Amino acid sequence: MRTLSRAFRCLALALGLAAGGAWASEVSLWFESGRPGPQAWQALDLLAEAPGHGLVAEDYEIDTLARQVGDAHRGPPPDDAAQERLAQALSAAMQRYLTDLHQGRLDPRHIDHHFKPSVRADFDPVARLREGLQAGRLAELVREAAPQLQQYEALREVLARMRVLVDHPAWQQELPALPRPAIRQPGRPGKLAPGQPWVGMALLGERLRLLGDLAADEPLPAIYEGVWVAAIQRFQERHGLDVDGVVGKDTWAALQVTPDQRALQIALNLERLRWTPLTEAPRMIVVNIPEFVLRAYEVREGRIVVQQSMKIIVGKAMDTRTPVFSEDMRSIEFSPYWNIPPSIARTETVPRLQRDPAYLAREDMEFVLADGSTGTEVTPEVLADVLAGRARIRQRPGLKNALGAVKFSFPNRDHIYLHHTPAAQLFGRGRRDFSHGCVRVEHPVELALFVLKDMPQWNEQRVREAMAAGQLQAVRLSTPVPVLIAYGTALVKRGRPYFYPDIYGHDGELAEALRQR
């Protein structure tokens, strides 16, 4: 029998499982009459199912364990020391598996995701495994360790379907290039628009049928029209693309993504669900950056019940990304001031005022000086104070205020908050990464009513009046509401899988971090 790997020896020592430890007296839970018992075989089956959770079975040395259990079953009965070593190996593998299922393989802080510790942080895989073995409920233990979320199970089902398609001939060749315009224009990409023929129609139809965007028995026109366009629109909606029915470069690229690439994307998002605190409080607000959607929901008997859903605008992918973290919302400001962040003041506002001093008055801004007084005279001395951090610029409440009529505050190191915006037309865009990092919300009144639910004096009329007052009114919440800024590129909605572009590159970062692990 091969000696335990170095990784398993380290894990065994860390968990107090070295020879002579607590598990020595429990070898009988893995063995019967000197041979591997039913629970040893069941453990192998459970570890082999790790890929169904987006995990890697080899992380738990499944091949080595299977060989060792098989040898112990078929060969000469192993002596006490050999039984103990194999029991420790099985225990170490199962404990690591339970830990990975429960809290993920990676500490999210290692990739700059700042979540509070889960309330289930007391999860003890050693004690849980001991109890599970004693009660003969190993399979139930695995199910309980995984996130108890409907979304998690729905993604697992999609993962299984994608893996069935991995070797399908429909993805063994690339889609042909898109039709080019009749008059060639350098640099202009091709596209497939309604009314056009295309040599890739048969392959396109097969992929759309396998992905569920085109009915299996639906008759297809010879040219791109009718049901073709409707199917592509369904595909575009599910992939975070502009739903225009035209196969341009972005839609063509999404159609080229293979099932195994989608399977990896799903596995990354299953990992996120294992360490993202989605059911930590009775009420929560979750921002999903790639989806450009905010959901305000209640948690009832462990299930998420969405009360509000709305479009959002997040930080620019190029240089002002919205960070991923969680914090408690503690107050709302109606008719807020916008205190321009020092970084924006340095790089944008002060240079603008140097060129155009009248910009301050036009935008209804003022200086807050070192002594707390305010002023509106633009001088080199005041601008120097702003650059040095001795003074700041703020925009007064009103129609021009960049925060709109309400600001939702939750203290955090990045000075991020949710807020209304006067630029409502931007919510009509498909991709909405336009901000300096804060999150603009489409329906601020509805969000305020959700947050103030346990403060009945704040009805809709009073909220609207406070938003229109033009005078700052800060309201401290009687019950803080957790806000989670999350990053999910794959999810299931209304029974259908949705995939969103990795606009900040976090999928790639997570995949690389897991490879290094």
What SS3 state is found at 158? helix
Inter-residue contact 246 to 254 (CB < 8 Å): no
DSSP string, 142-157: HHHHS---HHHHHHHH
What SS3 state is found at 510? helix
Sign of CA dihedral 128, 129, 133, 139: positive
Q: Which amino acid is it at 354?
A: Q
CA distance 477 to 459: 14
pLDDT given for residue 10 in this prediction: 44
Q: What share of the chain is helix, strand, coil (3-state, %, to 5)?
A: 45, 20, 40
CA distance 12 to 19: 9
Supply the DSSP symbol for 192.
B
Inter-residue contact 498 to 293 (CB < 8 Å): no
E strand map for 109-217: 113-114
Residues, the chain: 517
Q: Give which of 467, 298, 500, 334 is closest to 409, Cα–Cα.
A: 334
Could you tell me how many helices (H) and strands (E) the chain has, helices first? Answer: 18, 18
Inter-residue contact 481 to 281 (CB < 8 Å): yes
CA distance 129 to 135: 10
Sign of CA dihedral 397, 481, 106, 306: negative
What phi-psi label fits residue 240: left (phi over 0), alpha (psi between -120 and 50 degrees) or beta?
left
Per residue of the chain (517 residues), what is the pLDDT tens digit?
334 344 444 444 344 444 334 444 579 899 999 999 999 999 999 999 999 999 999 999 999 999 999 999 998 999 999 999 999 999 999 999 999 999 999 999 999 999 876 655 568 999 999 999 999 999 999 999 999 999 999 999 999 999 999 999 999 999 999 998 766 665 567 899 999 999 999 999 999 999 999 998 888 999 999 999 999 999 999 999 999 999 999 999 999 999 999 999 999 999 999 999 999 899 999 999 999 999 999 999 889 999 999 999 999 999 899 999 999 999 999 999 999 989 899 999 999 999 999 999 999 999 999 999 999 999 999 999 999 999 999 999 998 898 999 999 999 988 899 999 988 999 999 999 999 999 999 999 999 999 999 999 999 999 999 999 999 999 999 999 999 999 999 999 999 999 999 999 999 999 999 999 8
Q: Where are the alpha helices (DSSP H) in 213-368?
A: 227-238, 249-256, 259-275, 342-344, 350-355, 359-362
Q: What angle do CA 506, 512, 514 make, to 5 degrees?
A: 105
pLDDT given for residue 25 in this prediction: 59
List, in order, residues 6 or more apart from 209 with CB less than 8 Å away.
215, 216
What phi-psi label fits residue 414: left (phi over 0), alpha (psi between -120 and 50 degrees) or beta?
alpha
Q: Which amino acid is it at 196?
A: Q
pLDDT given for residue 302 in this prediction: 84
Q: Give which of 88, 4, 76 is closest to 43, Cα–Cα.
A: 88
Inter-residue contact 106 to 516 (CB < 8 Å): no
What SS3 state is found at 425? helix
